Amino acid sequence: MPDRNTVIPPLLAISPAARDLPRWVARRLRQENLCAPEDRVLVAVSGGPDSVALLHLLHRLRPEMPLNLGVAHFDHGLRGRESREEAEFVAALAQKLSLPCHLGQGDTRDLAGREKLSLQMAARRLRLNFLKDACRSHGYQKLALGHTADDQVELFFLRLLRGAGPEGLAGMPPATPEGLLRPLLAVGKEVILAWLEQESLSYCRDSSNLKRDYLRNRVRLDLLPHLREYNPRIKEAVWRAQALLQEEGRLVAPEAARAWAEVVETAAPDFYRLHLAGFFQLPGTLRKLVVRRALHQVLEDYPLSAVQVDAVLDLARGGKSGGQIPLGTCIVARAGRELHILRRLPPPSRESGLLPSCPGRFETGGWSWRLDSGPCISKASRPREAQIAWMDLDRVHFPLEVRYFQPGDRFRPAGAAGSRKLQDFLVDRKIPRWLRPYIPLVLSRGEIIWVAGLSLAEEVKLTAGSRNLLELEISSAGVGTGRIWEMLQACRKSIT
């Protein structure tokens, strides 16, 4: 629990805070170490009052805190002419302030349809990806966002309605280790509007903020005014509750970090393996924190509910391997004595293709294949790379077929006495069920001769009598297959 003497920063009142806002922001930046002189800071500006105020405030503070500022704006493609006018407004504002401006746009509806996301979630993902890319591409160390105390309060009730746990209810932090800054997080919207009016600064009004189609708007327009009838200082009450929850989170963070290091393995980008033997030695609270952290690593700010976290814990407790839970763009899968948490893969390919006998490079099924041949060389010089297979050329029949797992497939691994079901082979190699449909297979005359990355068939392995060699190399021909190969090798290494 937080100490009784914990000081919760007060919200800024409308008077006289509007007059003092620049001085307050400067003091906060220094006291919280949010920025250092000469930092390159990209300011995300939608054109609305909050982000416009943030840009002006940071720009005016440059004499006492010299920051190298840039402006970024993203058009979500949802409001036609209004969106274009906002982009023009932001570009003109950046030019007026003599600041570099980075503009981006995306098709939010297309992403929402493909990934089965709400429009708001899809818009947020596109926007954040653009902002992070802009930071990387142009060398910005910090990304400043215009979230205010009102956004924090709205988020509290949104997550409460969805059944979020303490971590979710604690809301947004004022800064993150990755360089995300929210300098106005303790400032009320009324202070922002009063300061803009005082300084005669213009901004855009987003008409979609008045539509009740979105839950956030209904919370702001309907729920919060109703709650003010019970507590006129509801904003301050929520702020204090969130500050206390954040303080509690900071107190348990060291224990949670130790628990994470003990039971979670980062197997590949967006792929986490949770070792259940150690996991169930942890106290219940730490188990939930570990699960939430793993999910957030993949999902970022997808709103997790306590019910969803409990469902993941139930899957971990269940004795049956192979069970799965979809959560947004994440999949949680039970794999033996592990729980796998990973970003969802595209549907398995049903494409098959042929590889000719001539040397060269060919593409099929999202993979690139390189064929070469020559006389056999000494065993000591054979490559160890999993993506390369060396076969007895005289036992291979062309064209080779490339396809994926089919029910009933059989395979005789090199060194085995006889053939067996491919599924049983993959189980023994601890390849999880969710990954098996993605592993490319190479066949000769209908017989599997290479389970790519795992094993050759006995029939084509090199022997003392082999005279001619076929070298077959597989590599990724796209982002999707690159992820699959990384995950396959991560699973392969766990058993070698």
pLDDT (tens digit, 9 = 90+) per residue, 464-477? 899 999 999 999 88
Residue 103's pLDDT is what? Answer: 97
- Does one domain contain both 203 and 333? no
Residue 495's pLDDT is what? Answer: 52
Tokens for 146, please give them: 């215009």
The answer to whether residue 246 sits within a structural domain is: no
Angle between helices 189-198 and 49-60 (to 10 degrees): 60
Residue 1's pLDDT is what? Answer: 37
- Does one domain contain both 286 and 328? yes
- Does one domain contain both 387 and 478? yes
- Does one domain contain both 82 and 224? yes
- Does one domain contain both 190 and 58? yes
The answer to whether residue 118 sits within a structural domain is: yes
The answer to whether residue 449 sits within a structural domain is: yes
- Does one domain contain both 421 and 441? yes
Domain containing residue 309: CATH number: 3.30.465.60
Residue 477's pLDDT is what? Answer: 84
The answer to whether 203 and 193 are in contact (CB under 8 A) is: no
**Regions of the chain with pLDDT less than 70:** 1-17, 301, 319, 377-384, 479, 494-496
Residue 383's pLDDT is what? Answer: 56
- Does one domain contain both 423 and 364? yes
Domain containing residue 86: CATH number: 3.40.50.620
The boundaries of the domain holding residue 332 are 252-343
- Does one domain contain both 386 and 409? yes
- Does one domain contain both 479 and 332? no
Q: Tens digit of pLDDT for each residue in 410-465? A: 999 999 999 999 999 999 999 999 999 999 999 999 999 999 999 999 999 999 89
- How many domains does the chain fold into? 3
Residue 164's pLDDT is what? Answer: 84
Residue 208's pLDDT is what? Answer: 85
